[in-house]
Each structure stands twice: as C-alpha cells, then as structure tokens.
Structure 1
Amino acid sequence: MFLVALILAVAAGVFFGAGNSALPWSNDICRYGDVLCQHPSWVGVPAVLSLVWAFFLRVDRL
C-alpha cells in the first residue's frame, strides 16, 4: 500500500509540474490529462488517503 501511495504522490507531482509548465514535456502530459493538470489535488488527495490507510494497516499488525 505504501507503493501505491508513492506512485500516486509522484503522479500528483508530475501533474502539478506539468500544469505549471515547469516540465519540458508539459504539453504532452497535459494533452492526455488536461483535467488532472488543472486539478492535481485529485491525485494528491487519494495519495494521502492511501498513505493513511497503509499506516492503519501497519499499526494493526504491531
């Protein structure tokens, strides 16, 4: 579950950077994920929720 949170966080960072035209390949990313470039929090919030969920699963085993 930590891997899923990491992948979602990286994706949110890429969409955030592409939305602000900070990446050299921003046009290619925003061509296919235009809504996510405008609202990268739509990927960031599930990343945080999956991280919280992973910590809950980890505490359950301790």
Structure 2
Amino acid sequence: MFPDKMLEKRNIHRELGKEMERGMREEEEKTTKTACFLSPLFLSLPFYNLSHSLTRQPSL
C-alpha cells in the first residue's frame, strides 16, 4: 500500500474515533441532565409506594 493511502486511512480512523468519543460524551451529558432533573421527582415520592410497585407481583 502506498504511504499516502496509509496516512489517509489513519486520518480517517482518527476522525471516526473522535466522532465516536464526542457522541459518547454527548450521550453521557444528556443522561446526567436527565438524572439531575428526575432525582428530585423520585425523592419527593412516598418511598413505600415506590418500593411496593417494584416488588408487586403481576396479577394473572
């Protein structure tokens, strides 16, 4: 393979890696914002209702 083709491939891989990293970072930021928004909502719920709904068996 020609050296310039190898360099071009390396640059493409580097750019793809940067894009993936950027996308993962953006998703992490969205998740953090959602968690910060929802935490007070869940904390304001009566805890026994939340635990009851998580352990309740579905009716047949």
TM category, shorter: 0.3 to 0.5
**What is the TM-score of this pair, normalised by structure 2?**
0.42
Which of 1 and 2 has greater Rg? 2
**What is the TM-score of this pair, normalised by structure 1?**
0.40
Higher RCO (Cα < 8 Å, 6 or more apart): 1
